[in-house]
Each structure stands twice: as C-alpha cells, then as structure tokens.
Amino acid sequence: MDRSAADRPLAKPGILDITPYKPGKAQADGVENPVKLSANENILGCSPKAKAAFAEAAGKLNLYPDGRAGILREAISRKYGLEPERLIFGCGSDEIFQILNQTLLEPGDNMVQGEYGFAAYSIGARACQGEVRMAKETNLRIDVDEMLKCVDERTRLVFVANPANPTGTWLPGAEIRRLHAGLPAHVVLVLDGAYAEFAGDPNYEDGIALAREAANVVVTRTFSKLHGLAALRVGWAYGPTDLLEAMDRIRLPFNVNIPAQLAAVASLEDAEFQARSLALVEQWRPWLAQQIGGLGLEVAPSAANFVLARFAAVPGKTAAEAEAFLASKGLLTRGVAGYGLPDHLRITVGLEEHNRGVVDGLAEFLKG
C-alpha cells in the first residue's frame, strides 16, 4: 500500500505483523496474591543493600542520571575485569538487543536466531524491517550447523541466549566458539547471558573471553535474574569498541535511571545475596526436574532458573490445562505456545513450598 496516499497514518510495512511481547502472567482469576513463577524472576526478592541504595536515591529524583552510567560502568568493569570503554548499559538487556538491531539492520538484511529464541530479538529486528531467520533446534537446543546454514551475505546479527529461554538448554563453550569460527567477519554474534550465573557446568563459558578477543562478539547481561532487580530494568553489554561507539549514538541519552544505577552497584557488592539466590536454584532446579520427570513428563535439561516440562506424553492433559490448574491453586507458570511449544510449560524455581506446590499440583492434575 502506498503510505503517502493513505487516508490515515500507517505503520511501516511489517510492524503490524509483529506479535506483541507477552509477559508472564501476574494474576490469576479468583486468587489473591498468587505466586509468580511465570517470568524467571528472583523469588528471594533483591539484595537488602540494593533496596537501601534505591531508597536513598529518592533524594535525587529531580536530577537527570549520568548518561554514561559512570558508577555502574566502574563497578562492572572492576568486578569482571573489563575495559570500561567497551561497556554499554541499557534499560534492561532488552534495550541492548533493540539498539543492536537498530545499529546493524537495514531493510533486506537478516538476523538469525534459534527456532525457540527469545522473542525480544525478533521484535526489534522486524521493527527495522529486517528478516528473522529461525534455525532449527535439535532436542530444544541451538544447533550450530543449522544456525550457520541460515547465514548469508545479508546476515548482520546472530542471537544466542546461553542458557536459552524458554528452553533452559545451553551450549558448551566449544560449540559457541565453533559457531563464531563459522561466521563471516561482518556478522555480530550476540551472546545473551541473562541466565549465565545459573550455568554451573565446567564446560559452560559466558563468552566474555571470546568477546575480549573477537571484533564481532557482544555479550549481554542483566540485573533482572540473579540480582532480582527486574523492576529497575538494568542490562549491560561488553563488545568491540567501534560497534559500541555506534550503538552509543542512538541509545536514549539517560536510559538507566539513578535509582537503578545505585541499586545495581549495591547489588554487585552483595556477594551473600547472590550466593543465596544461586544456592536456591542449584538446590531446587534438579529436584523439580526429577520430581516432574517422575510424574511422566519430559523435562528439558536446564541451566537457568526455570525448568520446561512437556505434556505431549499424557493424552488429554495439555500444558494449557496444567497452567490453568496450577493458576487456580495460586501458582502462576508460563505457557510457551507463542514460542511454538504448545505442549510445554515453563516453571520458574521458587521457594521450597512453591516447588512442592507445583509438583503436588501437577500430580493432582495428571491424576484427575
């Protein structure tokens, strides 16, 4: 349609084909204060030090934040041993994916992600009129050969969440390096480490070492998961200086607010809270997988703070019904049909009572 001849303002081609991002449910009909296990948040809340820093920031609400997030830049650079000029900060890592797409994609270019890849990558790419290529996954896991098959001269970005959402699966460092080695120099490999801290296997690598040496690797991280600061929207990325300089030109000038910067810095210093959050996931993730597996459901091997269960093996018992049944008991989980996984249900690791509630609820559901 000729947009200049239209009788009303029309969105750019492709915008209305984008499926809006669907967040995990926060409410259940007829249940007061349900437990939210639907968005991979931190069930322990956040660091008390972060809370105190946030409260203190109330005295500075009249001021614009430091647009370069100087205190946070310094804190991340110190904690991870990274060059400060190779960092960029965002309103969640979601904003960083958006900026990457905006910086690199022009109409006709493409980006590649796994077939069950995180929705935020493709929304941003489509907004730039880029083509989204979904590489087939094998056993719910990114398949490096399939990813490489999708790459051509118009590919600008390859997105890999490691561990992945919504599957929870992960690739060892050697596979990530093989993927990188197979990419042409003009393609940026984005390694989304939103769940990196939860991946304890010795063969897991967070990609920072690769990003340090390569001219085309960006690692993204977030304060939304382990640090429990999802409400404040703080993400960061480490990458090549020239790419980051380009990205820096188009980000919003004050994209990380003062309370968020101060709370994130305080959280980084709270090793005890981080250890406690990690220990909870390390204790209950395998328990959930084993118990849910014991009910006859398949559970994907997860390295994140959630598990993904498959209902196809139980005739007449669908994932959507299980989600509704658990919700009626005040336990909110996440159906992932929107990711092409209608038989699956994603469950964030909760406190002991929540995890037991999920397993008991599923047992009752499957029996009923």
Ligand X SMILES: Cc1ncc(COP(=O)(O)O)c(C=O)c1O
Which spans of this chain sit near ligand X (rule: CB under 6 A)?
40, 92-94, 118, 161, 165, 192, 194, 222, 224, 230, 235
Q: Assess contact for 173 and 314: CB atoms under 8 A.
A: no
State in angstroms the smallest separation of the CB of 86 from ligand X: 19
Instruction: Choose between 180 and 227: whose C-beta lies nearer to ligand X.
Output: 227
* CA distances to 81, 157, 249, 265 from 77, in Å: 5, 25, 21, 11
Q: How far apart are CA 205 and CA 208, in angstroms?
A: 8
Task: Map residue 263 onto helix, strand or coil.
Answer: helix
Instruction: Choose between 28 and 161: whose C-beta lies nearer to ligand X.
Output: 161
By DSSP bridging, strand 35-36 and strand 141-142 are unpaired
Instruction: Choose between 336 and 359: whose C-beta lies nearer to ligand X.
Output: 336
Closest CA to 237 of 102, 97, 128, 135: 97
Of all residues in the shown chain, the one whose CB is closest to ligand X is 92
Instruction: Choose between 103 and 291: whose C-beta lies nearer to ligand X.
Output: 103
Q: How far apart are CA 331 and CA 342, in angstroms?
A: 19
Burial of 30 (0-12, 13-18, 19+ CB in 10 A): exposed
Q: Assess contact for 339 and 119: CB atoms under 8 A.
A: yes
Q: How far apart are CA 114 and CA 141, in angstroms?
A: 8
DSSP 31: B
State in angstroms the smallest separation of the CB of 235 from ligand X: 4
269 half-sphere exposure, CB direction, 13 A CA radius: 15
State in angstroms the smallest separation of the CB of 194 from ligand X: 4
Closest CA to 305 of 347, 267, 355: 347
- Residue 221's beta-bridge partner residues? 236
State in angstroms the smallest separation of the CB of 219 from ligand X: 12
Q: How far apart are CA 327 and CA 171, in angstroms?
A: 32
State in angstroms the smallest separation of the CB of 236 from ligand X: 9
State in angstroms the smallest separation of the CB of 341 from ligand X: 14
- Residue 222's beta-bridge partner residues? 235
Instruction: Choose between 273 and 365: whose C-beta lies nearer to ligand X.
Output: 273
Instruction: Choose between 222 and 291: whose C-beta lies nearer to ligand X.
Output: 222
State in angstroms the smallest separation of the CB of 5 from ligand X: 39
State in angstroms the smallest separation of the CB of 204 from ligand X: 15
Instruction: Choose between 144 and 194: whose C-beta lies nearer to ligand X.
Output: 194
Instruction: Choose between 65 and 235: whose C-beta lies nearer to ligand X.
Output: 235
